[in-house]
Amino acid sequence: MNILVTGGAGYIGSHTCVELLNAGYDIVVMDNLYNSCEKSLEAVKKITGKDFPFYKCDMLDYEATEKIFKENKIDGVIHFAGLKAVGESCRIPLTYYHNNITGTLNLLDIMEKYNVFNMVFSSSATVYGSPKTVPIKEDFPLSTASPYGSTKLMIENILRDVYGANNKWSITLLRYFNPIGAHESGTMGEDPKGIPNNLLPYIAQVAVGRLECLSVFGNDYPTPDGTCVRDYIHVVDLAIGHVKTVDKKSNEPGVHIYNLGTGNGYSVLEVVKAFEDACGKPINFKIAPRRAGDIPECYADATKAKEELGWTAERDIAKMCEDNWRWQKLNPNGYNG
Ligand code: NAD
Ligand code: UD1
C-alpha cells in the first residue's frame, strides 16, 4: 500500500514516515518545507535504509499537488500538512484559514478525482475547547478558542460532509494530545523556528543553554501542585498510532475518531522534574502569570483507540524526556546546526 504523507518533513510526519516504512508500507512525501527542512527526510532514509519520492510542493498549488497523484499510484493519504501555532493563528487568521482549509479542499478534490477515498487527518485535542470534565472522551462537546483550533474543527466537519456525500470514504480523525520526545537515534526531533511556544522545546533549550529561564505560566490552577496538567505523548507512540490506524481502518468506510494520548496527566512542574532527571542538571525556571487561553487540565480517555485500533502509548514521561534531551544535546541548533 502506497501512502501519501502530506507535511511528511515535519515533526510528527517524519516520525510517522519511519514507522510506516518499518511496517512495510511504501510512502510518497510532500511538504512545502515552510516549517521543516529536508534533513528530517534524510534522517528517515538513514534510520530505515529505505528510499521514497519527495515532492517539495505546496498543497495550495493545485497542479503541483495533482502531479503527485498523476505520477504515483496513491492508495491513501495521511494529512499532516498545516500551520499549527495557536498564537500566530490569532495574529494572521486568514493565512491559517487559507493554508489549512483551502489546502485540504484541494487535496480532497484531487483525491476524489483519482479515486483515493482513504484519509487519516491530524486533528487535535484543541477541538474539545475547555472540557467540563477529564479524562476526555471522543464524544465530548466540541468548540475552539483560536483560529488554529477552528481550522481543525472545520476540517473535521468538511470530512464528515465528504463522507456524507460519498460513503466510499474511509476517514479517520486522530485527535492528538501533547506530542513530545524524539526518535531514540537522536537524529530526528522537533525543531521549532524562533522562540518555542510549547513547553518541551522550551525546557530543552534552557537545558542546552540556548534560553535563560523557563516561565511556568501560573501556579494557582485547581490542580495538585497548582500548575497545568497535560497528556504528553511520545511522538513515536503517536507515529505508531498512525500505522495502526492505516492497518485497521483503511478499508472500512466511515468517519472514525480516536484520541491519541496516554491517559495520564502531568503538571508543568512534574515535567520540569522529569526533564531534570533526564538531563542530569537543574532547569532554571520562574513562576509567571497565567497564559491566556490555557485550561487547567487536559488528558485523554484513550480506551477507544486501545479497543478498536489495538494501540496504546507505551513510552513513559521519563523516556519522552530522555529522548527529547538526546535530540537536543546532539543537535543544539536543530537540523541547521
Ligand atoms: P510541523 O509544522 O512540524 O509539520 C507540518 C508540516 O506541514 C511542516 O513540515 C510544514 O512545512 C508543512 N506544511 C504546512 N503548510 C503546508 C502547505 N500548504 N503545503 C505543504 N506543506 C505544508 O507540525 P507537527 O507538529 O508535525 O504537526 C503535524 C500536524 O499535526 C499538523 O496538522 C498539526 O496541526 C497537527 N497537530 C500537532 C500537534 C503538536 O503539538 N505538534 C498537536 C495536535 C495536532
Ligand atoms: C498547545 C496548543 C494546542 C495544541 C497543543 C499541541 C495553546 C494555547 N494550545 O497546547 O492547541 O494542540 O499545544 O501540543 O498553545 N507552559 C509553560 N511555559 C512555557 C510553555 C508552556 O508553563 O514556556 C505550560 C502551558 O501553560 C501549559 C503546558 O505548559 O500548561 C503545555 O503547554 P504547551 O506545550 O504550549 O501545550 P498546550 O498549551 O497544552
Q: What is the C-alpha separation between 132 and 269, in angstroms, rounded?
A: 23
Q: What is the C-alpha separation between 252 and 118, in angstroms, rounded?
A: 9
What are the residues whose beta carbons fall under 8 Å from the beta carbon of 86, sequence distance 6 or more? 126, 146, 148, 149, 197, 293
* Ligand 1, atom nearest to 198 Cα: 40
Tell me if 178 CB under 6 Å of ligand 2.
yes
* Ligand 2, atom nearest to 230 Cα: 39
**Distance from Cα 107 to the centre of ligand 1, integer Å:** 15
CB 198 within 8 A of CB 186: no
**Ligand 1 pocket, CB under 6 A:** 7, 9-13, 31-36, 58-60, 80-84, 99, 103, 122, 124, 176, 179
Using the structure block, give the residue that is written with the C-alpha cell 504528553: 232
Tell me if 202 CB under 6 Å of ligand 2.
yes
pLDDT for 184 equals 98
**Distance from Cα 199 to the centre of ligand 2, integer Å:** 6
pLDDT for 138 equals 98
Q: What is the C-alpha separation between 324 and 333, in angstroms, rounded?
A: 13
Using the structure block, give the residue that is written with the C-alpha cell 502531479: 67
pLDDT for 128 equals 98
pLDDT for 24 equals 98
What are the residues whose beta carbons fall under 8 Å from the beta carbon of 192, sequence distance 6 or more? 198, 201, 334
pLDDT in tens, 203-248: 999 999 999 999 999 999 999 999 999 999 999 999 999 999 999 9
* Dihedral sign, Cα of residue 221, residue 300, residue 153, residue 13: positive
Q: What is the C-alpha separation between 116 and 138, in angstroms, rounded?
A: 26
* Ligand 1, atom nearest to 125 Cα: 43
Q: Give the SS3 label for residue 106.
A: helix
pLDDT for 251 equals 86
Which residue has its alpha carbon closest to ligand 1 atom 22?
Answer: 81
Residue of 5, 6, 12 to mutate, ligand 1, most atoms within 8 A of C-beta: 12
Distances (CA, A) of 99 to 29, 112, 193, 274: 18, 20, 18, 36
Tell me if 88 CB under 6 Å of ligand 2.
no
Tally helices (H) and strands (E) across the chain: 12, 14
Q: Give the SS3 label for residue 92.
A: coil
The grid cell for 115 is 479515486
Q: Which residues are catalytic?
A: 148
CB 212 within 8 A of CB 283: no
Strand pairing report for 266-267 and 229-230: antiparallel
Ligand having the closest approach to the CA of 242: 1
pLDDT by 10s per residue, the chain, length 337? 999 999 999 999 999 999 999 999 999 999 999 999 999 999 999 999 999 999 999 999 999 999 999 999 999 999 999 999 999 999 999 999 999 999 999 999 999 999 999 999 999 999 999 999 999 999 999 999 999 999 999 999 999 999 999 999 999 999 999 999 999 999 999 999 899 999 999 999 999 999 999 999 999 999 999 999 999 999 999 999 999 999 999 989 999 999 999 999 999 999 999 999 999 999 999 999 999 999 999 999 999 999 999 999 999 999 999 999 999 999 999 998 7
Residue of 15, 33, 34, 299 to mutate, ligand 1, most atoms within 8 A of C-beta: 34
- The DSSP H or E segment spanning 246 is helix 235-249
Supply the DSSP string of 84-123, one letter for each residue: --HHHHHHSHHHHIIIIIIHHHHHHHHHHHTT--EEEEEE
pLDDT for 337 equals 74
Closest CA to 97 of 58, 177, 155: 155
CB 239 within 8 A of CB 15: yes
Residue of 44, 59, 78, 84 to mutate, ligand 1, most atoms within 8 A of C-beta: 84
The 10 Å Cβ neighbour count of residue 261 is: 29
Beta bridge partners of 119: 77, 171
HSE of 299, CA atoms in CB hemisphere, 13 A? 15
Closest CA to 59 of 29, 32, 27: 32
Q: Where are the alpha helices (DSSP H) in 171-234?
A: 199-207
Q: What is the C-alpha separation between 126 and 129, in angstroms, rounded?
A: 6
The grid cell for 195 is 522562540
The sheet carrying 229-230 orders its strands as 266-267, 229-230, 297-298
